[in-house]
Structure 1
């Protein structure tokens, strides 16, 4: 056997001939299928050396494990003349095999009331990253207020952040192990899908193989596989990927740090599956630490820290990103993007919502219907709240743990209205965590069958606050222990309600 050639064992030849009969093939027909001449096929069936890639193709077509029919115990991997592994050749071979699967799984997006999926590249707007988590900065309310001019409050731009933004791709290059946190609808899944598409398209980390895992699906997989087993199963399900590529994944690609592992939606894992998923991610990222990892999770939903991961936050869209998204959305449609952007600029309260990719999608859908925003803006605000409180999870089949069973959507709205009214009357755009928890305690104390034990009420108020932040993003932590409504528009809406 030469460095790049393999020959079939006598037992293998017999298996191959039986496979020909099983598939009603002749050697000539097999050659035509594989688009090669008859000569190398003839060599294969007489035990003479043939090009390694062709050897594997023949075995794949005849559903043979090529390692079992090779004439000698050669390496199952690409080798150079000096017998070293040609890992780059393996990477490119596997990339080619899994490309259709990655494009199918990650190439489109569909949210809210879209009538059909849309191509990711048709709508994608570059994501920016904040390297410092907003809610962890140690600032007082007075310091926070100094960050916003009177114009900010007049124009309802409370959500504007002044810290430096880093392009998302740059952050992934910079940090080999990255935990991306963000509010509901901030575009985390879309960004991870984009990374997979860019990688498999050769435009980003083309020397790696992208692996995209929806953590909810992994957590709920039958028989609780390990993360490595689950990924191997994903590989084997790709059309054209045989056992050899799956072995290469485990033995070489991961060992040589040639994977871009994208783990999406840690917050979407059911509570009963949390410990299993956390354990698997930790062990997998430790065992194959030379690969690049990106995990996405909602901010405030994360109770477990991966010590070796750098945590960053997805930044809200700025004006330029809003304009780019709108231009992509309304391209080739009756409504012109310039009109949408102009109307948005004329309605600052509505424009504030556009900083969220999810709510910007909602605005585009609403504008597309009639060529304008509704005359009654409260209808639009209510639709945005419904998206955050109900639709966003429901549309994706996600059932989250209900921290406090008595808090239906209606009661959450009532609670938020009481907090909004109290803080608005006091002009408290920012309020301390303890104050928010006290408002919650006062509300749940008056619910039917409420437990009046002060300690239990205090604990429940803490988890309810975290739940509203993590699951709906309507209250957000602006600095350590200091909260506000995510948008002043919603603060006003709940106050009026």
Structure 2
């Protein structure tokens, strides 16, 4: 460099001397301008010299900085810290956090094995409940998922607010694992900071930055950060910053200081996503500016099921891989079934922490809900103290002391028959209890503490209640047990307000005094409480158990006083209906279908089938009466009703019904009572037209004399065309022959003389017929009568074809006569079809039933009929329809349809149609109008009459109505024969 400068100087010197010589003359000629140029030149030289000095200094400084930057870059690149940091975070977040739970199994499941994503919804902070079991909003909002909100083009600031145990921390831990395991998206570096660990440092030194805290946190996980790694990630907007436990910052002033610090970090690193979690009470006093508030939502039924199944599968796999899936399926199903049968426990499962505790208790200590008292105790211990201790949070009063104070408060609230108290009353009750444990703590501090941990909630401004009435009842029972105040329970055995408290007390205390008080009282509520207390107390005296058994037997004794029977019926019904499945905020569906035993009490008739099995096949109108009866005998309990479609189709309800073998339930709909069945299951009142055809064939096969008489009638009318005298003699034989029981209702012997008188001109064509004719008619067998027709047609064609009028000879090979005025269109068609088959050479009257069904519209034949009369077996397959008519609407349908027929056709008095209408009406007013057993004869009469009347009508609504009547009669007959199952059951609901 110096050599170069010397060369430049020599060049300037060599060039400058001649130039100077030349310039002397010019400067003498222009002295002012020459002076100005000289001064400017000097200034330029001075400036260049100064600039060179500055550049040298800058060069030295930037050289060091570039070297340091390159050094840090190489260190970050060579250290592979990003990979080590992610591995450390994955390891730290691997397992479910069970710290603070007193009941923990041998294995802690991995988070990925059991995680069920907690959904979120937008909600103002003041609208978020802080109770352990917050209620869902009246109008459901869209469910949002944290993973869908992160890594969008525009960075977000989210405040996730939720009750204790609602899954906020678990959600952040799972988000951390997801980001570490998949580097998709620009913001793929998770920073998870627990504010309880850093709040004091932030308050003491607000200049701390996120990289400072992240570096400290990473060091705890054994990952040493290369200088500037976190700073660079934050500057580039590559991070999802998660700040957990904002409410765990001790004081309101400290929370405000931390909130300000968070806002500064958002401004400093604006390109990153920020997620802050808190309980409602902590966030309301110190909200984060610019944050979108989201509420954690309750677990749904499906999420509860997913969690329980995943939890058991993880635990059972660790216990033994062999058969793990089957064991997990069995045990998870057992827990879910018990929970669904215990609404007071099932309501707790919406909270992930409580659900985890329930799963642990069930896995380690046995069945639920028998152990629900232990579960409530466990909840109180965890919420009031154990979890705070496990998280290293200050706890100025131990859990037992807090539980004792809350027990006194709960007892006072129960005594006042309220679930909420104004703040002054709460503070007064707490003050009287708190003196036993501390002189330093104030009631205001205690109230704030139990509100913060979710045991109490501020239901309205200045009014406080327990997070769930069950917790109030449990703490009251604990207080009574500790103080010996059982007399208040004995004095209120008929008061449903104290019922649950009494049962919780009886679970861990002798129940004999309470049971005796219940028996002495004798009321429905008291007797029901006695039985339930007996179930809770395994040590109850034997004589009391025997007394309770005798009480139940009285309900079914014939000589029991009606008022006494009503009370006992109320007890039995209430016990059967006490297990209910919660649906939404207020509605519950009973998990036990109405049993044969209970339905028999309603009808005061012996139970049909096993007493404990579901009653089936009841009529809709009786269902209405049954619901009214249930509400009469359980007047002190909830009001029962039939469920709605959306309630019965809930998965939890359907699973319970399936376990009872129930797939058809009466529902209340806007159109009235309707039976419900799952999709793909046969409807209970639906029947195929082929079933009707089958029974019509059976009707005719079981009535050979009736068929014979119909064929006789057809033969006689045919003979009347040719030999009137012979026909009249046969008519007398017809009237004198034996008759079947269904002949009269069908009107087979009506107006025969009138029919003969309107016949065609008598032709003297035969002096005698075969000697077997009279014997055949006397015998009245279908085959014998058919043989007469066969010989008759042959004789006419052979002997008299030349004497018949033009056209008659050709038609006698297949003579079809109009018998409808005597027996209607359907029977007329059937008779002619049978005789046509005989005349064509058949040995028996086939085609009768098929032609009858075809004429009534119950059987539509194909488009290629061939053979005599257009009826034969060589055709396309028949097409039959489905019909749907409930048994209890059959009588009304008969009444309406017959009235419409008379109005439409106005059948003359004494005509066959008139008699047929009367016969069907009579059937509709008889056994078809009651659930009493339907005889086969009554069924045959009603079915054939309905079909005959259907054939008298052209296609239309009324024709369809008579077809449905025939189908309804057939359905009822097949149900009574058990060929079609009776499926309808009763399940009740409340709310």
TM-score (norm 1): 0.66
- Taking the aligned partners of 2:297 and 2:214, their CA distance within structure 1 comes to 30
Preserved CA contact (<8 Å) 1:437 1:465: no
Secondary structure at the counterpart of residue 337 of structure 2: helix
Q: 1:365 aligns with which of 360, 364, 384?
A: 360
Aligned-pair CA distance for 1:474: 0.9
The question of 1:469 aligning with 2:451 is answered yes
The question of 1:379 aligning with 2:374 is answered yes
Secondary structure at the counterpart of residue 317 of structure 1: coil
Aligned-pair CA distance for 1:118: 2.6
Q: 2:423 aligns with which of 436, 439, 443?
A: 436
TM-score (norm 2): 0.35
Preserved CA contact (<8 Å) 1:478 1:484: yes
Aligned-pair CA distance for 1:103: 0.3
- Taking the aligned partners of 2:69 and 2:300, their CA distance within structure 1 comes to 59
Q: In the alignment, which residue of structure 2 is the partner of 1:183?
A: 163
The question of 1:232 aligning with 2:215 is answered yes
- Taking the aligned partners of 1:262 and 1:428, their CA distance within structure 2 comes to 41
- Mapping 1:141-152, distance limit 5 Å: none
Secondary structure at the counterpart of residue 299 of structure 2: coil
- Mapping 1:127-166, distance limit 5 Å: 127-133=118-124, 135-136=126-127, 159-162=135-138, 163-164=140-141, 165-166=143-144
Secondary structure at the counterpart of residue 213 of structure 1: strand
The question of 1:417 aligning with 2:407 is answered yes
Q: Compare the two structures and name the one with the higher helix fraction.
A: 2
Secondary structure at the counterpart of residue 305 of structure 1: coil
The question of 1:328 aligning with 2:304 is answered no
- Mapping 1:36-75, distance limit 5 Å: none
The question of 1:294 aligning with 2:275 is answered yes
Deviates further, 221-230 or 254-263 = 221-230
The question of 1:313 aligning with 2:295 is answered yes
Q: In the alignment, which residue of structure 2 is the partner of 1:353?
A: 348
Q: In the alignment, which residue of structure 2 is the partner of 1:118?
A: 109
Count of residues in correspondence between the two structures: 384
Preserved CA contact (<8 Å) 2:136 2:297: no
Residue deviations 1:223-243, cap 9 Å, x none? 965433122344577778662
Residue deviations 1:121-147, cap 9 Å, x none? 111111012321475379xxxxxxxxx
Secondary structure at the counterpart of residue 165 of structure 2: coil
Residue deviations 1:177-233, cap 9 Å, x none? 112222222211111111111112227745431111122223466996543312234
Residue deviations 1:390-425, cap 9 Å, x none? 21112232225x4xxxx6544433443344344445
The question of 1:214 aligning with 2:194 is answered yes
- Mapping 1:24-35, distance limit 5 Å: none
Secondary structure at the counterpart of residue 293 of structure 2: strand
Q: In the alignment, which residue of structure 2 is the partner of 1:282?
A: 263
Aligned-pair CA distance for 1:382: 1.0
Preserved CA contact (<8 Å) 2:188 2:240: yes
- Taking the aligned partners of 2:432 and 2:294, their CA distance within structure 1 comes to 37
Preserved CA contact (<8 Å) 2:215 2:224: no
Cα separation, partners in 2 of 1:68 and 1:284, compared to 1, 3 Å: same
Preserved CA contact (<8 Å) 1:262 1:293: yes
Secondary structure at the counterpart of residue 282 of structure 2: coil
Preserved CA contact (<8 Å) 2:348 2:355: yes
Greater Cα radius of gyration, structure 1 or 2: 2
Aligned-pair CA distance for 1:345: 0.6
Cα separation, partners in 2 of 1:206 and 1:95, compared to 1, 3 Å: farther
Secondary structure at the counterpart of residue 159 of structure 2: strand
- Taking the aligned partners of 2:459 and 2:124, their CA distance within structure 1 comes to 9
Aligned-pair CA distance for 1:379: 2.0
Residue deviations 1:297-351, cap 9 Å, x none? 2221343222122222222222122111101100152453122111111111111
Cα separation, partners in 2 of 1:438 and 1:71, compared to 1, 3 Å: closer
Cα separation, partners in 2 of 1:77 and 1:388, compared to 1, 3 Å: same
Q: In the alignment, which residue of structure 2 is the partner of 1:54?
A: none
Deviates further, 315-324 or 160-169 = 160-169
Cα separation, partners in 2 of 1:68 and 1:348, compared to 1, 3 Å: farther
Secondary structure at the counterpart of residue 446 of structure 2: helix
Secondary structure at the counterpart of residue 331 of structure 1: helix
- Taking the aligned partners of 2:435 and 2:162, their CA distance within structure 1 comes to 35
Cα separation, partners in 2 of 1:351 and 1:287, compared to 1, 3 Å: same
- Taking the aligned partners of 1:485 and 1:226, their CA distance within structure 2 comes to 40
Structure 2 segments unaligned to the other structure (5+ residues): 1-62, 317-326, 479-991
The question of 1:167 aligning with 2:139 is answered no
Secondary structure at the counterpart of residue 113 of structure 2: helix
Cα separation, partners in 2 of 1:442 and 1:391, compared to 1, 3 Å: closer
CA RMSD of aligned residues (A): 3.9
Cα separation, partners in 2 of 1:68 and 1:341, compared to 1, 3 Å: farther
